Amino acid sequence: MADAEIGVIGGSGFYSFLDDVTEITVDTPYGSPSDSLFLGEVAGRQVAFLPRHGRGHHLPPHRINYRANLWALRSVGVRQVLGPCAVGGLRPEYGPGTLLVPDQVVDRTKTRAQTYFDGVPLADGSIPRVFHLPFADPYCPAARTAALAAARGREWDAVDGGTLVVIEGPRFSSRAESRWHAAQGWSVVGMTGHPEAALARELGLCYASLTLVTDLDAGAETGEGVSHHDVLEVFGKNVGRLREVLFDAVGALPATDARTCGCAEVHDGWKLGIELP
């Protein structure tokens, strides 16, 4: 199996232009990931790219196999993950083009498998023990620092911290839902940032999300509300800039064996009935 040390979960726009990319297929105990992994070199680091929605964007947020995605990345050596995603702004000052690196997450999803420790027998007949994940601070501080420094190095005045609320999708929020999210003091709303962070933590992976605001969510604006077309248009205008920030962040992440954040030590060597890849 080919090796990588850093994972990026996002669309093909982040790797399709690289000169030398190796495509590999990975099977996991949790089924197939969203797509193949695409391995290439960025800033002298070996990176595995995974299209979150699959090539062609055929997987809606609630049907993404998040467990398989994170497992597949770890199985090729990944220990640090960056997860860019498109979001709606919940405050007027977080308009289209804003880059926010959250430090908190709120889960409002309904149907997603959120843990590897669900008591379901694995293929070999073993049953994982129950494990309650410490999750007070969902994101890796070192990965967040790298992402913020990369954005500011590219003269993108990224917002340091804020709360990402993740909804089930694939529909956008109603105006009443959006206003309620904003009233809670949350910053941005998306559909894919959870359970990525929690699963990464269970696997001992560092994880940070980079949220690109593509619209003001329905309750934070006047007019007809957000549309899919508008989201794609704004994301397309900013994907090149976001790619530069991601690649700079990749280069700024610490070496795997030099991590001091504690993400890899959430529990003692996975002595809970599941063998890590």
Task: Decide if 243 is inside a domain.
Answer: yes
Q: How far apart are CA 45 and CA 5, in angstroms?
A: 7
Task: Decide if 200 is inside a domain.
Answer: yes
In order of 165, 169, 227, the CA distances from 49 in angstroms are 24, 24, 27
Three-state secondary structure of 7-39: EEECCHHHCCCCCCCEEECCCECCECCCCCEEE
Query: How many domains are there within the chain?
Result: 1
Q: How far apart are CA 103 and CA 208, in angstroms?
A: 8
- Which among 160, 215, 230, 257 is annotated as catalytic? 215
Task: Decide if 273 is inside a domain.
Answer: no
β 45-50/104-108 pair status: unpaired
Q: Has 215 been annotated as catalytic?
A: yes
Give the CATH number of the domain where residue 240 resides: 3.40.50.1580
Task: Decide if 88 is inside a domain.
Answer: yes
Burial class from Cβ neighbours inside 10 Å (0-12, 13-18, 19+) for residue 171 reads exposed
Report the candidate in 114, 86, 72 with the shortest Cα–Cα distance to residue 192: 86
Q: How far apart are CA 147 and CA 209, in angstroms?
A: 9
Task: Decide if 213 is inside a domain.
Answer: yes
pLDDT for position 237: 75
As annotated, the binding site for substrate includes 191, 215-217
As annotated, the binding site includes 12, 52-53, 191-192, 215-217
In order of 37, 68, 222, the CA distances from 27 in angstroms are 11, 8, 46
Q: Phi first, then psi: what are they for 236, rounded to 5°?
A: -60, -35
pLDDT tens-digit readout, 232-254: 677 677 778 999 999 999 999 99
As annotated, the binding site for phosphate includes 12, 52-53, 192
Could you list the pLDDT tens digit for every one of the 277 residues in the chain? 569 999 999 877 787 778 889 999 999 989 999 999 999 999 999 999 999 999 888 999 999 999 999 999 999 999 999 999 999 999 999 989 999 999 999 999 999 999 988 777 766 777 767 778 889 999 999 999 999 999 999 999 999 999 999 999 999 899 899 999 999 999 999 999 999 999 999 999 999 999 999 888 866 665 566 666 676 677 677 778 999 999 999 999 999 989 999 898 875 545 555 667 7
Q: Has 230 been annotated as catalytic?
A: no
- Which among 217, 230, 248, 257 is annotated as catalytic? 217
Q: Which domain holds residue 256?
A: 6-265
For residue 276 the two structure tokens come to 């890590």
pTM to 2 decimals?
A: 0.91
Task: Decide if 270 is inside a domain.
Answer: no
Report the candidate in 104, 108, 91 with the shortest Cα–Cα distance to residue 217: 91
Task: Decide if 274 is inside a domain.
Answer: no
Report the candidate in 243, 244, 90 with the shortest Cα–Cα distance to residue 167: 90
Q: Phi first, then psi: what are they for 216, rounded to 5°?
A: -85, 125
Q: How far apart are CA 249 and CA 15, in angstroms?
A: 15
